[in-house]
Amino acid sequence: MATADRTTCLDRREAVRELLRDRGELLVVSGLGSSSYDVFAAGDHDGNMYLWGAMGAAALVGLGVALAQRDRPVAVFTGDGEQLMALGALATIAVQKPGNYTLIVLDNGRFAETGMQRTHTDLGIDMHRMAAAAGFAAAVELRDLSAVRSFRPQLSRLSGGPRFATVKIAAEDKPRALPPRDGVYLKNRFRHHLGFPVK
């Protein structure tokens, strides 16, 4: 299988910052490692749930939030390495049909947290096509900032989902921007943001 073309890849921090610009009521779940660093670098927010040590769980945690909070748009930011470890999640999300849900895979073709080993996407696997085959209502690949800007309004929608976007990013190691790591604090902050009592 041929190596994927990475000649036109985005800066990960710039792409995430653009997607989260003017986020409004958007709730965000971010996966292990770099995707959480990117979301935090774009601006910390009480509506962010950063996952630590939950490899493969981000997409389904986001699904749970979307099903429980149908009047709020929900976006999940995760990496290609993490989502490849949870391909079955695509089918589960598709059959649940959450209209307010968007899954964004930041695809650098690498397992960045374990040493930048190549992932299947660097060998030609197209995850947006897998999502489309699973039954996502919309699945796209974004390779430039113009496409990212055009896609951004989709994150605010409460219907028409689930949506999937592969964001092709450069395989580079960015400085870490570390969000809070206290799971109880993050849970309570998120619950408070949603108007639930915090014990």
* CATH numeric code, 12-193: 3.40.50.970
Q: DSSP state, 30? A: E
pLDDT at residue number 111: 61
- Has residue 123 got a pLDDT over 80? no
pLDDT at residue number 199: 76
Most distant CA atoms of the chain, gap in Å: 53
Residues in the chain: 199
- Has residue 198 got a pLDDT over 90? no
Question: Where along the chain do its domains lie?
Answer: 12-193
Q: Report the predicted TM-score, pTM, of the whole model to 2 decimal places.
A: 0.92
CA distance from start to end of the chain: 52
The CA distance from 53 to 168, in Å, is 24
Burial of 165 (0-12, 13-18, 19+ CB in 10 A): buried
What does the angle CA 168 – CA 171 – CA 177 come to, to the nearest 5 degrees? Answer: 95
Q: What is the pLDDT of residues 45-71, one digit of tens each?
A: 999 999 987 788 999 999 999 999 999
pLDDT at residue number 2: 44
Percent of the chain with pLDDT over 70: 89
Using alpha carbons, select from 116, 168, 161 the residue that is nearest to residue 142. Answer: 168
